[in-house]
Structure 1
Amino acid sequence: MLDETTKGVFTIAATPFLPDGALDFDSIDRLTDAYIEKGANGLTILGMMGEAGKLTAAESVAVVQRVVSRSTVPVVVGVSAPGFAAMSELATKAMEAGAAGVMVAPPMGLKTDAQIVGYFHNAADALGPIPFVLQDFPLATGVQMSPSVVLQIVEECPTCVMLKHEDWPGLEKITTLRGASDSGARRISILCGNGGMYLLEEMMRGADGAMTGFGYPEMMRQVVDAYLAGEVERARDIFDAYMPMIRYEAQPGMGLAIRKHSLAQQGIIAHPTLRKPGAGLSAQAIGEIDALATRQKRRLADLGL
């Protein structure tokens, strides 16, 4: 079960589709295995980059059941929904399938601190005893949560056990939250997103690991392991080898297409299909990605990876 002490790398999973847009369960199996083989301590499914909003309720449950039955590590399920009934139903079915917890993002339209806190009170009530991850991703949701709001939610909602930190820029927020816990506030796990773009600095600010995706998910494990071993310069060297691809994948509106292309090129998923609506890649973009992959492979070889 997910709790406040959770650490490590929880890889955000893509959702594989066949060329006609149907779920690709064989690729789901391979993807689950690959994420774990590449160092994931846990998996997070049905997140924003998992195209959760494009699935039917029945498909969402089917994906949860398939991944959880396959996985040997804890699985967190994104259950964000416009209404609490749908959220509660998916969360309950996920936990019945064996999930470790769920993740909730605030809906667009919350403007005031009171509205944000009130929403998560209601979400916690709807989820009951299920532990949940508070997803703080203002670039996607438009909801700005100050450190004081996060701390209030953590204090008043005991089942909130983790912050998925994706504010950008957000390093000072991590410092503020960790300072508060050092001064007596309830300490929860902080795992960070944004494709790992600021992973090393986030770890140095007090994060407990990563909860994000990338076309080469082993990057998170390699960087975190080097940092925790006290090998900060090696962690920097590893990160630098991947940085051109991280930067390229960070393009708004194209990131998932790039990530799926990389996963398909590695043979992890059969097709790079995005379910409609979704942006495709031009031949020129594919050439750029492949060139970056070749250079990345060479840089990693120089590091013995």
Structure 2
Amino acid sequence: MRLDATASGLFPIAPTPFTPDGRIDEASIDTLIARYLKAGATGITVLGIMGEAPKLEPEESLHLTTRFIAGMGDLPVIVGVSAPGLAAMRWLAHAAMDRGAAGVMIAPPPSLRTDDQIIGYYRQAVEAIGTDIPFVIQDYPLTLTVQMTPKVIRQIVQDHPSCVMLKHEDWPGLEKISTLRGFETDGSMRPISILTGNGGLFLDFEMERGADGAMTGYAFPEMLADVVRLSKAGRRDEAHDLFDAHLPLLRYEQQQGVGLAVRKYVLMRRGFIASDAQRKPGSALSATARAEVHYLLARLAARDSRALAAE
């Protein structure tokens, strides 16, 4: 399957499961895939920022990608190929597509500061990987420090027919979604898929502004899938009620520096992965933090029974 502008639903950002000694946990890859499919995933993204991609050897990255492609069957797999150099990006993009990936995701390097630099970078990236590979723009200024205006995104989309999706992670970013959808309405930008990140922190209103779904890694992907589904069905209050029940845990997971540790810990408690280990360097939860997570899970369980097993 090739990624296109109609993509929607839930594309979880998959964490890379490790054993406590730092090896890739092969069995947990299969468990993750099974649980994501059960949660209602319509695709998946691997080697994202939360997937600890920079800690992997190139061969490990390709092996992980291949395992996810095989496990997801006919559903699309997007592969993060961002790299300091375009040669490494080209190698991974071509290798992943040869093994059946649906498309790739490209984040701008933090050194970019002007609109012309951003537009020029994506031009060079597309020249490197080829115009036949569908790609996703990752717009994540909080981490990448690159500010992309709606007009810059529009220019990239219009310049490159192979750009089919925006991973929207600006904060605040609701007006950006509205502006981009406005460009589509007035005919100045062709339609693209918009999936949102930031751990799902603004998913409730992002859907109402015109997002097509979520591409993020909150430890309850079922909630993300349900909010997307309820929003698309016009069941606004139900979507917000479910989202509000998860908001305290979701907010806790968004802490800079320990967010991945929280997410992996909850995923481990829920049976998605066998260990919450990160490959070094990585953060770990203190005993106090773990107790706080248990408290949040217990409170969540009173409103969403899916949290019971993780208390």
Question: Which range, TM-score by smaller chain?
Answer: over 0.9
Pairs within 5 Å for 1:22-61: 22-61=23-62
Query: What secondary structure does 1:103 align onto?
Result: strand
User: Superposition RMSD on alpha carbons, in Å?
Assistant: 1.0
Separation of aligned partners in 2, 1:158 and 1:226 = 31
Aligned length: 302
Pairing 1:135–2:132 present = no
Query: What secondary structure does 2:105 align onto?
Result: strand
Pairing 1:227–2:228 present = no
2:251 to 244, 247, 253: 247
Separation of aligned partners in 1, 2:82 and 2:127 = 14
Structure 2, unaligned stretches of length 5 or more? 307-311
Separation of aligned partners in 2, 1:196 and 1:225 = 14
TM-score by length of 2: 0.96
Shift in Å, 1:83: 0.7
The AA in structure 2 aligned to 1:27 is S
Shift in Å, 1:194: 0.3
Separation of aligned partners in 1, 2:304 and 2:275 = 26
2:281 to 277, 282, 285: 277
Aligned to 2:309: none
Pairing 1:125–2:127 present = yes
1:110 to 105, 108, 112: 112
Aligned to 2:270: 266
Query: What secondary structure does 2:136 align onto?
Result: strand
Pairs within 5 Å for 1:96-245: 96-128=98-130, 129-184=132-187, 185-245=189-249
Pairs within 5 Å for 1:76-87: 76-87=78-89
Shift in Å, 1:272: 0.2
Shift in Å, 1:146: 0.5
The AA in structure 2 aligned to 1:147 is P
The AA in structure 2 aligned to 1:207 is A
After the TM superposition, which of the residue ranges 290-299 and 143-152 deviates more from structure 2? Answer: 290-299
Q: Deviations over 1:81-116 (max 9, x none)?
A: 011110011011111111110000000110110000
Separation of aligned partners in 2, 1:10 and 1:301 = 23
Separation of aligned partners in 2, 1:301 and 1:237 = 14
Separation of aligned partners in 2, 1:293 and 1:218 = 15
The AA in structure 2 aligned to 1:123 is A
Q: Deviations over 1:195-224 (max 9, x none)?
A: 000001001101111111111111111111
Separation of aligned partners in 1, 2:146 and 2:232 = 32
Q: 1:301 to 1:60 in 2, by over 3 A?
A: closer
Aligned to 1:68: 69
The AA in structure 1 aligned to 2:289 is A
Aligned to 2:14: 13
Structure 1, unaligned stretches of length 5 or more? none
Query: What secondary structure does 1:28 align onto?
Result: helix
Give identity over the alignment, percent: 55
Separation of aligned partners in 1, 2:64 and 2:272 = 17
Query: What secondary structure does 2:298 align onto?
Result: helix
Q: Deviations over 1:252-294 (max 9, x none)?
A: 1111000000010011111000111111100000011011111
Shift in Å, 1:301: 4.0
Separation of aligned partners in 1, 2:171 and 2:264 = 23
Aligned to 1:300: 304
TM-score by length of 1: 0.98
Query: What secondary structure does 1:76 align onto?
Result: strand
Q: Deviations over 1:3-24 (max 9, x none)?
A: 1111111111000000000100
Separation of aligned partners in 1, 2:99 and 2:267 = 27
Query: What secondary structure does 1:102 align onto?
Result: strand
Runs of 4+ displaced beyond 6 Å: none
Q: 1:301 to 1:268 in 2, by over 3 A?
A: closer
Q: Deviations over 1:152-193 (max 9, x none)?
A: 000001111100000000001001100011000211110000
Query: What secondary structure does 2:303 align onto?
Result: helix
